Structure 1
């Protein structure tokens, strides 16, 4: 019998270890690192810009309203320098973002020579998807709200597919409490069409049975788009957020080639289990270091702080390639 792939493996000493290793400097950023009063710092977008790692973090103030703010580090783990002023404030979209801007992702668009920042604009109508662009993380050009409420967890591919940009997003389902990952296409980043279901929740006792949402922009590999996503399970004590892995077709990213049965990172430490929202690992940033064959995943922990975990790029790719292919008898 062939063993199923697992997100844990044996090391050289025969000890069981995880694919992802948490940074010894975790939590990397907390509200105490900010130059002005804040309640929490979480869910960062990530980019490697020249010789520094840039995080665009969601910062929740003491009213409960969030804005986006920038932190920079030369090694991606220590020596963070926080910009004195927010990059995007809650007033940017008027009534559509009156309750804040949240949960960004960053994508380098080579054809426009800029970074695209996707994020949630939150107002009385509910969460909606907004996009802005930047070249220096000091000023942005707003494209406005591009997908109306209720929609969130937007993540752009870094290149056009079939002549169009492609965005992953998570509209709320007609089924109560459920939400799946969809993708839509656009010629200009503003008008989106052709929504297609990509990744469904898995019913019953699965770790991602309630909601799923795409994390950082998927990474192009020779075998497909390597994506990380969060999944939610409802337990008697509340929700648990964990991270899973998926491989999507290069030419048609709405097609799932592989999907891990196991989660690859879940709440296990004090800073992940205790906070404003206990038991949360919420991945939103990804940096690939080809020279070291490493991936750094930046995530919000317990809706309170920013943390990072790393994995071998080749090792994670081998893992996902060994994961199950979609079964046509199961819609998930």
Structure 2
């Protein structure tokens, strides 16, 4: 970790690459993450040799190595369904105690554009498809683990005339995970030359803390060589998640390592998965590096909260 970053890169990075996959793929990246008992589960985006992505499960006893990768995808396009014919991308997962299930949000991609797709699972062995819940163009969706004031809350990034045209983070509410309210603004990209001035998007599902919902998000800066994807922190109110309490001005993790700077999409760190090890108060952040490999960075939750609360 450099003195400008709050996360430590794991020395084993990249922890998963296409070379380790049990069938031919071009790249693996942008994984969701979950802890099931003593097993860390990631749901990885795998881009096959046609360019279409699907989601495949890998399991590890320690979240770092010894990965057992399923031989078949958990979620892949169904023949005849146009809205998913170009694949599934960039999953997030969260356990919802009320449902007794893990909720998967991801991007379904088809001719109409990207849309928010929802599925549920008990064990990451089988999946129940619930379908598209937010229509194109919409992506970067993550659900809070519990209702707030009786409603489910979904952070997402619609890019429509009804909201989100600047590439911002908004939220919608639902009584049933099916019908969703009009988007409400949470955070916008900053203006000018800021590190997150082009667009922003939610990372893993926000983490409940005593101070508020900890939001880890990605931000993009435009340069003459292309975009740079970095990671920032914010905190929203527990009882009103659309109310932004704190937002750190500087980024806390960026593409500095060679495997983050070189790949299909250079200069990219894209976080989708988070595991909180409560015993040691450690955050394990699983992210895609350069849209090419899967990596791990760690931080102490207390350090993240101290930084964002000081903003």
Measured against the shorter chain, the TM-score band is over 0.9
- Cα distance in 2 for partners of 1:255, 1:29 equals 37
Structure 1 residue runs of 4+, over 4 Å off? 173-177
The alignment partner of 1:144 has SS state of strand
What residue in structure 2 maps to residue 97 of structure 1?
Answer: 84
CA apart distance, 1:262: 0.6
What does 1:103-142 align with in structure 2 at a 5 Å threshold?
Answer: 103-142=90-129
What residue in structure 2 maps to residue 85 of structure 1?
Answer: 72
1:313 has 2:307 as partner: no
TM-score by length of 2: 0.97
What residue in structure 2 maps to residue 216 of structure 1?
Answer: 204
Contact 2:195/2:220 (8 A) holds in 1: yes
1:37 has 2:24 as partner: yes
Distance 1:83 1:176, change over 3 A: closer
Contact 2:204/2:273 (8 A) holds in 1: yes
1:268 has 2:256 as partner: yes
- Cα distance in 2 for partners of 1:38, 1:187 equals 39
TM-score by length of 1: 0.91
Q: CA RMSD in A?
A: 1.5
- Cα distance in 2 for partners of 1:222, 1:177 equals 32
Contact 1:177/1:210 (8 A) holds in 2: no
1:286 has 2:274 as partner: yes
What residue in structure 2 maps to residue 52 of structure 1?
Answer: 39
- Please, which runs of 5 or more residues in structure 2 have no aligned partner? none
Distance 1:241 1:289, change over 3 A: same
- Cα distance in 2 for partners of 1:279, 1:119 equals 23
- Please, which runs of 5 or more residues in structure 1 have no aligned partner? 1-6, 9-15, 324-332
- Cα distance in 2 for partners of 1:193, 1:120 equals 19
CA apart distance, 1:172: 1.2
What residue in structure 1 maps to residue 133 of structure 2?
Answer: 146
What residue in structure 1 maps to residue 238 of structure 2?
Answer: 250
What residue in structure 2 maps to residue 28 of structure 1?
Answer: 15
Q: Deviations over 1:75-118 (max 9, x none)?
A: 11111110111000122781001111000000100001000000
